[in-house]
Chain A
């Protein structure tokens, strides 16, 4: 009864040549990146390097426990929490309207709003460290600079991811509502938010964890909190104190993780049958959240009014003017180009390595053990990993690659695990019922469904890592960061400005590449 005669159809897989071409292209691109990142696995197991790392890690024991130090530690931990919370609150305020404007979700024609997209790119493209430097000039040393820097950078990141989560939800419910005459806001609220709430909330909470880490990184340039303490301990090579600070830090990350898990479990429970979706528990949660945000701002004592004073405007103007005259001599440009290539290589190779390790850890059983490993990996900030990997393989790009990979594996592993948990179970269960082994059921049933999400997470993480690769240069891991750190410490704003422009261009290029890959995939 077939209507189509099979003989007229291709006998070979028509997709195969294209796949082969992609594979070859990937190999051709990867090879020079590996060269530029100076990947030398041998250095990891060299005896003298192992000894240096061993000695350094041995100094971590026992962790410092002096009463005075613990007092400082407690205060710094609270400050870090407050910076992260206040910064994320600011970011969220910024992100919600921007995401709504930037997203194509719920629009009848998928028009992206290019102006908002550009704003988002600018917000995210300049590393928070650079924003922090800008605000440190206006507010002086202290947490205010950190909060504002976090607010702007994370506002851009949240907005972008919110917009994409809404776009990746099944568009049909919203489209049906639009066709029934509903406005866009209503269509989004009724058609898309119910599908996306879990992901939106879990991403926001996850970002809050990231904000804790980021506030530590900014502590290294004087924005307060645990980072400032860590910077001092590392500079004095005080292993015991560094260990205590790290432990405090991991504890914070663990608490954040538990909190996020509890929140998600609440979202999974079916709502009790009552008219409103918000019960007493939700009300209490909202109050607690508001108290945390207001408390954070009060604790940090940020004079936000100072941001709008004429002094601040003049100071910002001067800073911007300094940066608006970049050094464009051919000599310097060449150096910056080389630094850019190195930074690109560090970020790309580090992210790929992290994706492989992360997937492995996301699939590991028993879950609690691997969740703990992932937690450990990502609760150590890249900068701290970099000081350790620099000891293990020497200063240079490879140390940066390893530091990025270790931290990012923790991040991606957790995101992968969540995506896999949320994947529809029916396809792989059906294969299991047909007798397929677990690995085959996973590859045929689960992976095709979640692959776009895993890819999106990985690419998105790559976009963040290109900025982190720059920051890693601050501790000698090569690339643009090393150049920026060097020029800034000599007050060479013209040269530093060129480097920042290169970072911005590089992150825009990576953004674009990642979007193209996602669209093709």
Chain B
């Protein structure tokens, strides 16, 4: 069991209910895509799974522990096994890519090693290998404020690859990437999770990317789970219901207006299969 939520609700102090009555379980090694319109609660759900927000109702168990009952030390140990890819990469502007990636193990390294690594990077080959998988090996010693938005987002992905967590949470991990890179990056995450037996939960804006790369799809709408099905059983009507508030067309990589031209070139790559 990788995580289990039952009856989980999250109500903000201002009274807004971001999540209500969520029941969701995943076995270790499962790969799940969260889809749904903006503001449906995808980020809130990932925050609860990542122990960033404590649910205001229901029970939560992550990697065999109940975060709310853990002492500070054990909570840290649990958190070091959860890797979150944030939509806006939480990396200080002036930090170098090598440091930003090595920070992925800040939860596992003893403090002295993290501190020493600020003087001289403790694991240059490791950081380079992680960046190389995202095609960024040449940016190893570059400062992050000299990177483009897409490059920075991939540094954030590299950090989590380097962390090697048992549970990977990805919140719109490819929102700043063009369709070809987005596909490659999601494939990389899926392959990584598969190779290490890690659980992967990713919220995705592009429905075709979710359906093509993930075996299990969870649709979220207005803070509740709308459906939880194998990718093959998610039909068009289900999707149109889910995105009813967002107009006729479903959000896909190809309908991203900026990238229509690029996406056409990449049709060969095919968004329907991942492996």
Contact = CB atoms under 8 A, between A and B. Distances in A.
B36 interface: no
A12 B121 CA distance: 9
Given A435-B107, A443-B118, A427 B82 contact: no
B84 A433 contact: yes
Interface stretch (B135-143, B201-209, B218-226, B259-267): B135-143
A435 B80 contact: yes
Given A444-B106, A448-B92, A448-B94, A434 B135 contact: no
A277 interface: no
Interface stretch (B1-9, B97-105, B235-243): B97-105
B141 to A, nearest CB: 6
Size class of the A contact interface (CB-based, 8 Å): 35 or more
B195 interface: no
B82 A451 contact: no
B154 interface: no
Contacts of B83: 434
A240 interface: no
B274 to A, nearest CB: 15
Given A13-B120, A16-B120, A429 B138 contact: no
A490 interface: no
Contact of B79 (A435, A443, A446): A435
Interface stretch (B25-33, B37-45, B108-116): B108-116
A13 B137 contact: no
A263 to B, nearest CB: 25
A336 B88 CA distance: 56
Given A9-B137, A12-B124, A431-B103, A437 B90 contact: no
B250 interface: no
Interface string B183-202: 01000000000000000000
A432 B124 contact: no
Given A2-B132, A440-B111, A434 B79 contact: yes
B128 interface: yes
A4 B137 CA distance: 7
A436 B98 CA distance: 17
A427 B155 CA distance: 13
A14 B121 CA distance: 11
B86 A434 contact: no
Contacts of B176: none
Contacts of A3: 135
A427 B91 contact: yes
B120 A445 contact: no
A14 B139 CA distance: 12
A12 B128 CA distance: 11
A6 interface: yes
Given A13-B98, A435-B80, A443 B115 contact: yes
B77 interface: yes
Contact of B104 (A1, A9, A19, A434): A434
B141 A433 contact: no
Contact of A435 (B93, B98, B108, B120): B108
A3 B140 CA distance: 14
A189 interface: no
B196 to A, nearest CB: 16
A451 B106 CA distance: 20
A431 B106 contact: yes
A11 B126 CA distance: 11
A2 B76 contact: no
B71 interface: no
B137 A434 contact: no
Contact of B140 (A2, A9, A451): A9
Contacts of B92: 427, 444-449
A437 B184 contact: no
B94 A451 contact: yes
B106 A441 contact: yes
A426 interface: yes
Contacts of A16: 120
Contacts of B165: 434
Given A435-B108, A444-B114, A6 B137 contact: yes
A433 B86 CA distance: 11
Given A4-B137, A449-B92, A449-B93, A436 B106 contact: yes
A1 B103 contact: no
Interface string A508-519: 000000000000
A11 B76 contact: no
A452 interface: yes
Contacts of A12: 124
Nearest to B76: A435
Interface of B: 50-52, 76-84, 86, 88, 90-96, 98-99, 103-104, 106-108, 111, 114-115, 118-121, 124-125, 128-129, 132-133, 135, 137-138, 140-141, 163, 165, 184
5 contacts: A433-B79, A433-B82, A435-B79, A436-B103, A441-B106
Interface of A: 1-4, 6, 9-16, 19, 426-427, 429-437, 439-441, 443-449, 451-452
Given A4-B137, A433-B50, A435-B76, 19 more contacts: A1-B184, A2-B132, A2-B133, A9-B128, A11-B125, A13-B124, A430-B90, A431-B90, A431-B106, A431-B107, A435-B77, A435-B80, A436-B103, A436-B107, A437-B76, A437-B111, A444-B99, A447-B92, A449-B92
